[in-house]
Amino acid sequence: MRLDVVTIFPEYLDPLDVSLVGKARARGLLDVRVHDLRDWTRDKHHTVDDTPYGGGPGMVMKTDPWGDALDDVIADGYEHGATRPVLVVPTPSGEPFTQDRAVELSRQPWLIFTPARYEGIDRRVTDEYATRLPVRELSIGDYVLAGGEAAVLVITEAVARLLPGVLGNAESHRDDSFAPGAMAHLLEGPVYTKPPTWRRRGIPDVLLSGHHGNIARWRRDEAIRRTAAHRPDLLRRSAPDAFDKKDRALLTALGWYQDQDGHWQPPAQDAP
Under the rule (CB under 6 A), what is the footprint of ligand SAM?
90-93, 115-117, 119-120, 139-141, 143-148, 151
Tell me the residue number closest to ligand SAM, measured at CB. Answer: 148
- Give one word for 46, left, alpha or beta, with left for phi > 0 and alpha for psi -120 to 50: left
**Cα–Cα distance, 223 to 175 (Å, whole number):** 11
Q: How far is the CB of 240 from ligand SAM (least distance, A)?
A: 33
Q: Which residues are catalytic?
A: 92, 119, 161, 176
Residues 6+ apart with CB under 8 A from 88: 105, 111, 112, 113, 114, 136, 138, 152, 155
Residue ranges of alpha helices (H) inside the chain are 19-26, 63-79, 99-106, 123-130, 149-160, 212-230, 232-237, 245-253
Q: How far is the CB of 154 from ligand SAM (least distance, A)?
A: 8
The residue among 117 and 173 lying less far from ligand SAM, judged by its C-beta, is: 117
CB of 101 to ligand SAM, least distance (A): 12
CB closer to ligand SAM out of 114 and 227: 114
Closest distance between ligand SAM and the C-beta of residue 56, in Å?
10
Angle at 185 between CA 231 and CA 205, to 5 degrees: 85
d(CA 184, CA 194): 30
State which residue, 9 or 218, has the beta carbon closest to ligand SAM.
Answer: 9
Nearest to 182 by CA among 238, 104, 144, 132: 238
129 vs 256 by CB, closer to ligand SAM: 129
DSSP secondary structure code for residue 56 in this structure: -
